[in-house]
């Protein structure tokens, strides 16, 4: 009986919570004459299910960091087309996974600075380093650079086989519900809107356009997300230069102390010894996700395996 009540209440409570967050962010975004941040925002991204959440939780515990966990409400207030899961309903200009600097004007820059300044003020110390984590931003590199040209960025990359199996498990479980949001999938969003956006954007950007129609399972769809995420990041490596570091999830879990010190150095924060010790204690070895072989169309299969080899990851896709 209690479980049934909670199943009814939780989706309603989530909708109320997210609605309040959006209204607050929209109010923040309207503030004018906001100067750029003294220290630029730092960004963490990577294909979903790559370990960005656990890394973010560790950084959130650092005494000198203000951490933003996937602030979809903030991005919606800055640029509505970022809401690829339609968490806040349809947008007049549509929603996208892949976004470039073409969508950024002075208005978006002003709203971005206003929202980030407001988040820092709410943290209680404007000298904190502000770190934002949203995995899908892996597909929005030039957009981020246009909003904040000096921002350091971190790409957390994980074995593609483990990633797509994790996506498959989450998308198939579908226990996370939102009130009044239609047929909500825990991974692909409202009425599979994230998948539709990803497929459309991939075709528009010439990613496997002749093979996307062949994708039907969560494994195959997740493989496209992993491929496009990594491909978009690799496209902008020269633009980012030393503003970007890549961290393998397996290295973060197996060589935690060195990797955390490296991350602190990149984000210009003190590698507090107590924080590093506690963080290392919280990191387990990278889990291997067992499951059926990953079968992909020929071009996707070849590209997937090339990236697996490039990063030294175990496992390959097979051609379907």
Please tell me the predicted confidence (pLDDT) of residue 9: 67
| Structure tokens, 147 | 């909003």
DSSP β-ladder status, 318-319 and 295-296: parallel
CATH of the domain at 18: 3.40.50.300
For residue 144, give its domain range: 2-319
DSSP SS3 for 90: coil
Burial of 86 (0-12, 13-18, 19+ CB in 10 A): buried
DSSP of 140-192: -HHHHHHH-TT--EEEEE--HHHHHHHHHHHHHH-----TTSSSEETTTEETT
What pLDDT, in 10s, does the model give residues 79-132? Answer: 999 999 998 888 877 899 999 999 999 999 999 999 999 999 999 988 899 999
Nearest to 163 by CA among 215, 203, 84, 220: 220
**CA–CA dist 162, 164 (Å, integer):** 6
- State which residues of the chain have pLDDT below 70: 1-9, 174-177, 179-183
What pLDDT, in 10s, does the model give residues 135-172? Answer: 999 999 999 999 999 999 999 999 999 999 999 999 99
Q: Please state the φ and ψ torsions of residue 71, each to the nearest 5 degrees.
A: -80, 70
Domain count, the chain: 1
Whole-prediction pTM value? 0.94
| Structure tokens, 151 | 């921002």
């Amino acid at each position: 009986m209690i479980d049934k009540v909670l199943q009814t209440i939780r989706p309603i409570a989530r909708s109320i919570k997210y609605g309040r967050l959006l209204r607050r962010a929209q109010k923040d975004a309207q503030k004018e004459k906001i100067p750029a941040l003294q220290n630029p925002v730092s960004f963490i991204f990577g294909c979903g299910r790559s370990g960005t959440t656990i890394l973010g939780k560790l950084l959130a515990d650092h005494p000198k960091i203000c951490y933003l966990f996937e602030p979809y409400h903030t991005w919606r207030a800055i640029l509505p087309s970022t809401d690829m899961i339609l968490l806040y309903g349809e947008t007049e200009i549509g929603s996208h996974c892949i976004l470039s600097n073409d969508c950024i004007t002075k208005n978006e820059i002003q709203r971005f600075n206003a929202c980030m300044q407001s988040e820092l003020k709410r943290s209680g110390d404007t000298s904190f380093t502000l770190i934002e984590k949203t995995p899908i931003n892996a597909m929005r590199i030039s957009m981020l650079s246009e909003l904040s040209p000096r921002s350091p960025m971190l790409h957390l990359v994980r074995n593609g086989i483990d990633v797509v199996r994790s996506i498959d498990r989450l998308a198939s479980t579908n226990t996370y519900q939102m009130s009044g949001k239609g047929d909500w999938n825990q991974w692909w969003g409202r009425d599979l809107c994230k998948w539709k956006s990803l497929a459309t954007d991939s075709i528009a950007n010439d990613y496997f356009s002749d093979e996307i129609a062949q994708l039907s399972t969560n494994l195959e769809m997740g493989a496209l997300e992993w491929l496009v995420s990594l491909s978009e990041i690799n496209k902008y490596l020269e633009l980012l230069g030393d503003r970007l570091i890549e961290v393998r999830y397996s290295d973060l879990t197996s060589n935690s102390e060195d990797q955390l010190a490296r991350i602190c150095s990149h984000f210009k924060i003190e590698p507090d010894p107590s924080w590093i010790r506690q963080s290392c204690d919280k990191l387990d070895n990278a889990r291997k996700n067992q499951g059926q072989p990953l079968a992909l169309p020929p071009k996707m299969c070849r590209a997937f395996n090339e990236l697996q080899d490039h990063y030294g990851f175990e496992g390959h896709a097979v051609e379907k």
